Each structure stands twice: as C-alpha cells, then as structure tokens.
Amino acid sequence: MSPATIFQIHLVFGYVPWLLLFAAYGWPWLKSMDPLEAQRAIATLHSFRFFGLAFLVPGVVGPNLPAGFASFAAYADFATGLLAMLALLTVRVRALFWLFVVTFNLVGAVDILVDYYHGNQLGLAPLAGELGAVYAIPIIYVPLLMITHVAAFYLMVYRRGRQVSAVAAG
C-alpha cells in the first residue's frame, strides 16, 4: 500500500473513533451544560492550537513539505488558538466572550477546510512522510477539532433558536 493511500485512509478513519466517542460522551455532556460553559469547554480544547506552529519547525517537518500548506496551517491554527484563549480570558464579559467564540470557531473551521483543500491541491498525500512529527495532527487532532467546531455552531444556533422561540411564546 502506498504512503499516499495510507495517509488518505488515516484522514478518513481519523474521524470514526472521535465521532463514536463524541456521540457517546462528548455530545450528551455538552448538551446538558449551560451554553456558556459548553462553549468554554470547546474553547479550552481549541486553545491548544498554538501547537500548529510546529509545521514551521525544521526537523519536526521534512524539508519538502509544501511551504504554502505549512505556513497557512501553522498561522491559522495559531490565530485560532489565540482567539480561543481570548474567549476564555473574557468569559466574565459576555459580549466579548461570545464575539471570540464565534470568531475562533469561524477562523478554526475555515482553517481546517482550507488545509484540506490546500493539501489536496498541493498533492500532500504522496508527501505525507514530510509531515514528520506533526503527522498525528491531521490524523488524530484535526478530526476532534472539526467535530467540536460543528458542535459549537450547532449549540449556538440551536440554543439561540430555543431562546427566541421561548421569548416569542411567552
């Protein structure tokens, strides 16, 4: 089996265990929480995205990793992590907290989608070995990040919709 095929299998199957775990434990837990606390938990996970800067460290990644992929992935991840940290730091100022929650989720989801697109356009799969030590990021970490972005958006829209309905009914 070629390294490109293995990488593509890893990308797809990286979602399976996270979806199973999230469906059994994460989603029921988040849905049971106060909306602010649920978003705070998601922001805490995403605050570790500063780790994406490792895509820029020679020796951690191979010299033939496409620079266009590495730079965008690194800096967009870093920006998402900083925005998530700002959300956590502003939790007592509700308007700022929610602004940062929406922003880090938008920036983070776009980052992941663009990284998938760039990876495909730049032919990353045959060069997967050039990911070096960060190979685990798109395989293990990114699926959980994307799942929690989707959950965060759903919780924002669903909870907001319920609140509007309750006010209209009352």
- Model confidence at 97, pLDDT cuts 50, 70, 90, reads very high
Amino acid at site 24: A
- Looking at residue 85, its pLDDT comes to 98
- Looking at residue 68, its pLDDT comes to 86
* Closest by Cα among 72, 80, 61 to 121: 72
Contact 76, 114 (CB under 8 A): yes
Mean pLDDT over residues 80-102, rounded? Answer: 98
Mean pLDDT over residues 79-103, rounded? Answer: 98
Q: What is the mean pLDDT of the chain?
A: 93
Mean pLDDT over residues 85-98, rounded? Answer: 98
Ordered alpha helix ranges (H), the chain: 3-13, 15-21, 27-32, 35-46, 67-89, 94-121, 136, 142-169
Mean pLDDT over residues 42-63, rounded? Answer: 96
